[in-house]
Structure 1
């Protein structure tokens, strides 16, 4: 289902007055996992690379709650890969790996760092994305 997994710790400040991780933190976790994968596994140079990925769309559906200090298991896959855009799909799970906390997606459009005009996703980055692509 998900080709890449990362565990994200919750923090004391993530809990809201209702005693569970606030909804905005889910987006932060998704963004963190996507970008750590882009840097570590796909080789994106966020400081000096020719292209950067800009988030143009995001969505999250909340399924169950989680609270500090429980870590969250985040699964990542690529649902659609275009010429200059990619749709990442993510699942956030409780520590047991079975209970879904949230499901969401992010769409990045890759742009030229200087002009901010859409740019083709470079070969090595595209290859890494293809390895996370949903098949069938």
Structure 2
């Protein structure tokens, strides 16, 4: 089985700075696996907030994660300064797949690549179609 090559900075339309913390390291001295997912989720949430997608409060969009994962290319850990590159690789009527790559400051190849598949749901927890304005905001980082 061939290994997926690390994506490059040029493959991502949006970036956010992410700082590792002392307690992010595990016993082996690198970033704990669970911390990667926390960083991915935080980067996605910040990007949503910066682009007018409410994530808290009465007007918040209700996205449910139905799938996620991560590919590791090289170790990172505290005190690395990271940048999260974001891109949407698939958009359906009620769902989208967003990928987040973590890059060490100044490096062109990603250290890791994570993904989330999010489904927009209503108060009844059932999928609902994404309205045009929400779809337009997400399309800002679409590479499909």
Same fold (TM over 0.5): yes
Structure 1 position 67, deviation (Å): 1.6
1:54-94 Cα shifts (integer Å, max 9, x gaps): 11100101111112111111100110011100100121111
Which whole-Å CA distance do the structure 2 matches of 1:99 and 1:117 have between them? 38
TM-score of the two chains, using structure 1 as the length reference: 0.91
Give unpaired runs (5+ residues) of structure 2.
1-10
RMSD: 1.4
Query: Could you tell me whether the CA contact under 8 Å between 1:87 and 1:108 is conserved in 2?
Result: yes
- 2:72 paired with 1:62: yes
- Judging changes above 3 Å, is the alpha-carbon distance between structure 1 residues 117 and 50 closer, same or farther for their aligned structure 2 residues? farther
CA distance in structure 2 between the partners assigned to 1:115 and 1:50 by the alignment: 15
TM-score (norm 2): 0.87
Asked if residue 120 in structure 1 is aligned to residue 126 in structure 2, the reply is no
Match of residue 35 from structure 1? 45
Deviates more, 1:93-102 or 1:51-60: 93-102
- Unaligned stretches of 5+ in structure 1? none
- Measured after TM superposition, the shift of residue 45 of structure 1 is 4.2
Q: Is the 8 A contact 1:46 1:52 kept in 2?
A: no
Matches within 5 A, 1:5-24: 5-24=15-34
Q: Post-superposition shift, 1:129?
A: 1.1
Change (3 A) 1:121 1:42: farther
- Inter-partner Cα distance in structure 1 for 2:45 and 2:55: 11
**Number of equivalenced pairs:** 134
2:82 to 72, 89, 105: 72
Q: Which aligned segments of 4 or more residues in structure 1 are displaced greater than 4 angstroms?
A: none
